[in-house]
Amino acid sequence: MAIDPMHQFAIHEVVHIDPVNVPGLGLVNLSITNSVLWMGIAALVVCGFLLASARGAVVPGRLQSLGESLYGLVDNLTSSMIGHEGRKFLPFVFTLFSFILVMNLFGLIAIPGVGAPFTATSQLAVTLTLALVTFITVIVIGFIRNGFGFFKLFVPSGVPWPLLFLLVPIEFISFMVRPVTLSLRLFGNMLGGHVVLKIFASFVIGLGAFALTGGLASLGFVGSALSLGTVVALTALEFIVAFLQAFVFAALACVYINDVVNLHAH
């Protein structure tokens, strides 16, 4: 049987729901797919974890210590990048961070009764939606706080006016591509890492099966063992990448919010 490393990203229906006719949009498919299922589970896990860890015990247990550590991490991130108003945006940034982190980790963990691991953040539609939510939130915050002064974001200060004809379009384009770069970064890292992991895992089985034919083919056991070691190392690396990509997404969200909150310093 051919090994297909992309099969793990295939979308399929879990619960079929008849399409609904929405005026102006036509028939809309509301069926629950494996991607929707895992995102729903991720949201429930985040909510359950926060409820379980928010006990406020004087001597925190392991779960509370983990919750406080993650909260402190994101709190320091928002405060250092946005400034004294950073805590106002902590709920939004922490929600992004925790939701993305759990979805990333689910790609490496199988839950009994649910099926094989599925990484929702390996779907461009998911990462682009998260990026657009962040982008629209930044724009809304920018207009609420600055009104039409929001457009000063595209006009660098201290620049001779003739150069503005060149720099303003560049600043505008760089701002508009933010959702694209934000979504592609998360999507590419999660997709690429899982593909490589799947390929090396297939070497473990393929070389081991080839070695069973005997003769010189027995050397395949060596390659199979090396591939297994690589899979273990890559799995550990993927856990680190899962955390780092959630952190990077949250950090960039803070950078974008800082641009509109502290527009006077732009």
CA distance 44 to 101: 13
Q: Diameter of the chain by CA atoms?
A: 77
Mean pLDDT per block of 10 residues along the chain (266 residues) reads 74 85 82 90 92 77 86 93 90 95 89 75 94 96 91 84 87 94 94 89 85 78 89 92 95 94 74
CA distance 20 to 222: 56
Token digits of residue 129: 């939606």
Q: Which residues contact 32 (CB under 8 A, 6 or more apart)?
A: 13, 14, 15, 17
Closest CA to 262 of 125, 183, 157, 185: 157
Question: According to the model, what pLDDT value does residue 113 have?
Answer: 65
Q: How far is CA 257 from the centre of its chain?
A: 18
Residue type, 72: G
Cβ atoms of 81 and 254 within 8 Å: the answer is yes
Residue type, 199: I
Closest CA to 248 of 97, 86, 27: 97
Question: According to the model, what pLDDT value does residue 114 have?
Answer: 65
Question: According to the model, what pLDDT value does residue 10 have?
Answer: 85
CA distance 39 to 122: 12
Closest CA to 135 of 92, 99, 85: 92
Question: According to the model, what pLDDT value does residue 100 have?
Answer: 96
